[in-house]
Amino acid sequence: MEKLIEVTNLAYTYRAGAGNAVTALSGINMEVYRGEFLAITGQNGSGKSTLARHFNGLLTPDRGEVFVEGIPITDKKRIADIRKAVGMVFQNPDNQLVSSIVEEDVAFGPENLGLAPEVIRNRVDWALKTLNIESLRLESPNNLSEGQKQLVAIAGVLAMKPECIVLDEPTAHLDPRSRREVLENVTRLNRNEGITIILLTHFMNEVVFCDRMIIMDMGKIIITGTPQDVFNKEADIVRLGLDFPVAARIASGLRAKGLILPESIIDAEELVNQLCLLK
Amino acid sequence: MELTKNITLGVYLPGETVIHRLDPRTKIVIASLLIFLLLMIKSYPAYGMILLFLTAVIFISGIPIRYALCGLKPMLPVLILMWFFQLFLYSSPDAHVIFSWWIFTATDAGMHMGNLISLRVFFLFGATTILTLTTSMVGLTDGMESLLNPLRKIGLPTQELVMTMVIALRFVLILAEELDKIVKAQMARGVAFDRGNFIQKTKKLFPVFLPLFINAFKRAEELIVAMESRSYTGGKGRTKMKTLHMGRVDLIAGLIMLIFSAIVILIIFTIQPQI
């Protein structure tokens, strides 16, 4: 598989040189493959956000190197290409929406790329349609639910037609139903549109959608593998202070026994609903 | 939301009338012209013309008159106070005294001055309220950006200024809600904002505004990162999804305004000013 992002020997320190320097990352080696769904998990302060901010050049490494589509992120002249390839969605949707009208906000990214008005219009329509939020087109973000705001934020990144979308704890502020809606949309973007997804989360039950996962702790990568592999190392996950996705595990166990259950089950409520639907 | 209840200035009433469909630039230019005329007017007949014009616009745009006027309510005490100030303080040598008591002397010149100034403020408010009631904020900012564009050549960062306005508009409500939340949280912990003298009351506001400011800066920082990762690098090289188009209605509106301005200017120069 083709590598989209490659990280070699990355280290990063906050307040480097000052007395209270904090080492956020050290000795990170990893890669992201084109078209995959990668989850990066870890407790708060494990360094996952810091790592993600290297993927589109918001931070530059103290040591080591990061390449996006073969371009080093330290190449200031090509930073626009890197930002176009790797879009980012943050935790609090309120603090990333710019305009008071949904479609204007979605247009913000493409406008920054200097595209022609008709092209921008097409992309905005497409992004809103892909996420099923066309009906919100003329709403003000202030009137939307947190989940809807987050979908608008994702649409804003999607309209820039990125290769890859990094989502930094996109569901932390959401209620369970909105969480599922956002995750389903993200999964669909990965499956149908072929967009590489990097999901940062500390909810272990969200990683069931992903192809591959990385667990970080204290600024280092501890475990890498498919969710199935990782979940088998139960003791490790517990030691790292992460929750265990009980509903997802029960569902996958039942699937293995031959019950027909959707893969999207991540919480108890959904599991119960789906079990009740079975004959 | 208590903070935004009685304010009509800046509120937009969506509609499909001719006035709503006018290009925002046309509306901004017409409103500016009206304001300019208002600052020159010194006679009642000319104010009569403005009243006629604004009433016609309100009628065509379908704004409920009562709604347009209710925004004036908080300004009423100021207007009345201003009228009395002019009545007693303004005088001219050939003025007739209406009545006199102790140190207060009211003249007819003072009364006219009071009338004219109150009317001016009233109509200034009316013109800007009609503009914002019939034009969306996005329309207004787009119009401003386009009208200010020539100033870019002399180095004024017009696009950046307009972007700042767009963001400010988006965050006004968020910060108002946050203020409300902080006040309620403090009240829940026993702060009585309505008790004590002026200094005591003011002191109680510090623990409200401090967290508000800190949060505002945090939000600003997050917003910058989000904007940067969406490739924002300032106004240069940016395009717009919606481009403004002037049409036949704009031409007609412009012509009407031109004729109207000519008539008002004629009145200004021919009719003896009141003072």
A200: alpha, beta or left? (left if phi > 0; alpha if psi -120 to 50): beta
Q: Which residues of chain A lie closer than 8 angstroms to B239, CB-CB?
A: 111, 114-117, 120
DSSP class of residue A100 equals S
Any idea what the CATH number is for the domain that residue A145 is in?
3.40.50.300
Say whether both A273 and A179 belong to one domain.
no
Please give the residue of chain A at the shortest CA–CA distance from B166.
A99
Mean pLDDT of all residues in A220-236: 79
Quote the mean pLDDT of chain A.
88
Query: With an 8 Å Cβ cutoff, are A115 and B166 in contact?
Result: no
The pLDDT tens digits for B59-88 are 999 888 888 787 777 788 888 998 988 888
Say whether both A260 and A163 belong to one domain.
no
Query: With an 8 Å Cβ cutoff, are A112 and B230 in contact?
Result: yes
Q: CA of A82 to nearest chain B CA: how many angstroms apart?
A: 9
Band (pLDDT 50/70/90 cuts) for residue A55 is very high
Mean pLDDT of all residues in A205-215: 85
Q: CA of B129 to nearest chain A CA: how many angstroms apart?
A: 20
Find which of B181, B236, B241 to mutate to test the A interface (most A CBs within 10 Å of its CB).
Answer: B241
Q: Which residues of chain B lie closer than 8 angstroms to A54, CB-CB?
A: none
On the question of pLDDT at B3 being above 50, the answer is no
Say whether both A176 and A266 belong to one domain.
no
On the question of pLDDT at B6 being above 60, the answer is no
Say whether both A36 and A78 belong to one domain.
yes
Mean pLDDT of all residues in B32-54: 92
Say whether both A159 and A259 belong to one domain.
no
**How many angstroms separate the CA atoms of B10 and B134, rounded?**
10
Q: Into how many domains does chain A fold?
A: 2
Is any Cβ of chain A less than 8 angstroms from the Cβ of B167? Answer: yes
Say whether both A153 and A262 belong to one domain.
no
Q: Which residues of chain B lie closer than 8 angstroms to A98, CB-CB?
A: 163, 166-167, 170, 223, 227
On the question of pLDDT at A248 being above 90, the answer is no
Query: With an 8 Å Cβ cutoff, are A156 and B227 in contact?
Result: no
The pLDDT tens digits for B122-145 are 999 889 888 988 888 888 888 988
What is the per-residue pLDDT for A166?
A: 96
Mean pLDDT of all residues in A142-165: 94
Residue B49 in contact with residue B267, Cβ under 8 Å?
A: yes
A→B contacts (Cβ < 8 Å), by residue, are 56, 58, 80, 83-84, 87-88, 90, 92, 94-101, 103-104, 107-117, 120-121, 124, 141-142, 156-157, 160
Break chain B into its structural domains and give their ranges: 1-156+241-275, 158-234
Q: Which pTM was predicted?
A: 0.79
Quote the mean pLDDT of chain B.
86
**How many angstroms separate the CA atoms of B141 and A117, rounded?**
18
Mean pLDDT of all residues in A201-209: 81
Q: Which residues of chain A lie closer than 8 angstroms to B169, CB-CB?
A: 100
- By mean pLDDT, which of A101-105, A215-219, A266-270 is the weakest? A266-270
Q: CA of B173 to nearest chain A CA: how many angstroms apart?
A: 8
* Concatenated DSSP letters of chain B: -GGGTT--TT------SHHHHS-HHHHHHHHHHHHHHHHH--SHHHHHHHHHHHHHHHHHHT--HHHHHHTTGGGHHHHHHHHHHHHHH---TTPPEEEEETTEEEEHHHHHHHHHHHHHHHHHHHHHHHHHHHS-HHHHHHHHHHHHGGGGGGT--HHHHHHHHHHHHHHHHHHHHHHHHHHHHHHHTT--TT-S-HHHHHHHHHHHHHHHHHHHHHHHHHHHHHHHHTT--SSTT---SSPP---HHHHHHHHHHHHHHHHHHHHHHHSPP--
What is the span of the domain harbouring residue A57?
3-244
Query: With an 8 Å Cβ cutoff, are A115 and B173 in contact?
Result: no
User: Residue A202's beta-bridge partner residues?
Assistant: none
Most confidently predicted of A57-61, A119-123, B17-21, B246-250? A119-123
Q: CA of A100 to nearest chain B CA: how many angstroms apart?
A: 5
DSSP class of residue A3 equals E
Mean pLDDT of all residues in A177-201: 92
* CB within 8 Å of A106: residues ≥ 6 apart: A124, A127, A128, A152, A155, A156, A159
Say whether both A88 and A192 belong to one domain.
yes
Mean pLDDT of all residues in A182-193: 92
Q: Which residues of chain A lie closer than 8 angstroms to B242, CB-CB?
A: 104, 107, 117
The pLDDT tens digits for B14-33 are 788 889 989 999 999 999 99
What is the per-residue pLDDT for A264?
A: 66
On the question of pLDDT at A118 being above 60, the answer is yes
**How many angstroms separate the CA atoms of B146 and A90, rounded?**
32
What is the per-residue pLDDT for B271?
A: 81
Find which of B4, B132, B138, B170 to mutate to test the A interface (most A CBs within 10 Å of its CB).
Answer: B170
Q: CA of A144 to nearest chain B CA: how many angstroms apart?
A: 12
What is the per-residue pLDDT for A247?
A: 77
Mean pLDDT of all residues in A138-164: 93
Please give the residue of chain A at the shortest CA–CA distance from B227.
A96
Band (pLDDT 50/70/90 cuts) for residue B8 is low
On the question of pLDDT at A116 being above 70, the answer is yes
What is the per-residue pLDDT for B274?
A: 65
Band (pLDDT 50/70/90 cuts) for residue A102 is very high
- By mean pLDDT, which of A69-78, B5-14, B69-78 is the weakest? B5-14
What is the per-residue pLDDT for A234?
A: 65
What is the per-residue pLDDT for A89?
A: 95
Please give the residue of chain A at the shortest CA–CA distance from B219.
A95
What is the per-residue pLDDT for A168?
A: 94
By DSSP bridging, strand A220-225 and strand A3-14 are unpaired
Q: Out of A84, A90, A111, whose CB is closest to B226? A: A90
Q: Which residues of chain B lie closer than 8 angstroms to A102, CB-CB?
A: none
What is the per-residue pLDDT for B34?
A: 94
Q: What is the CA radius of gyration of chain B?
A: 24
> What is the ipTM for the molecules in this complex?
0.83
On the question of pLDDT at B9 being above 60, the answer is no
What is the per-residue pLDDT for A156?
A: 95
CB count within 10 Å of CB B97 equals 12
On the question of pLDDT at B5 being above 70, the answer is no
What is the per-residue pLDDT for A87?
A: 94
**How many angstroms separate the CA atoms of A95 and A169, rounded?**
14
The pLDDT tens digits for B159-218 are 888 888 888 888 888 888 888 889 888 889 888 877 788 888 888 888 888 999 999 999
On the question of pLDDT at A244 being above 70, the answer is no
Is any Cβ of chain A less than 8 angstroms from the Cβ of B236? Answer: no
What is the per-residue pLDDT for B10?
A: 61
What is the per-residue pLDDT for A200?
A: 95
Say whether both A137 and A126 belong to one domain.
yes
What is the per-residue pLDDT for B2?
A: 47
Q: For chains A and B, what is the number of CB pairs under 8 angstroms?
A: 91
**How many angstroms separate the CA atoms of A234 and B109, rounded?**
91
Q: Which residues of chain B lie closer than 8 angstroms to A92, CB-CB?
A: 222
Please give the residue of chain B at the shortest CA–CA distance from A103.
B241
What is the per-residue pLDDT for A235?
A: 66
Overall residue count recorded for chain A in this entry: 279
What is the per-residue pLDDT for A28?
A: 93
* CB within 8 Å of A77: residues ≥ 6 apart: none
Q: Which residues of chain A lie closer than 8 angstroms to B138, CB-CB?
A: 99-101, 104
Query: With an 8 Å Cβ cutoff, are A99 and B237 in contact?
Result: no
Please give the residue of chain B at the shortest CA–CA distance from A167.
B226
B 147-166 near A (Cβ less than 8 A): 163, 166
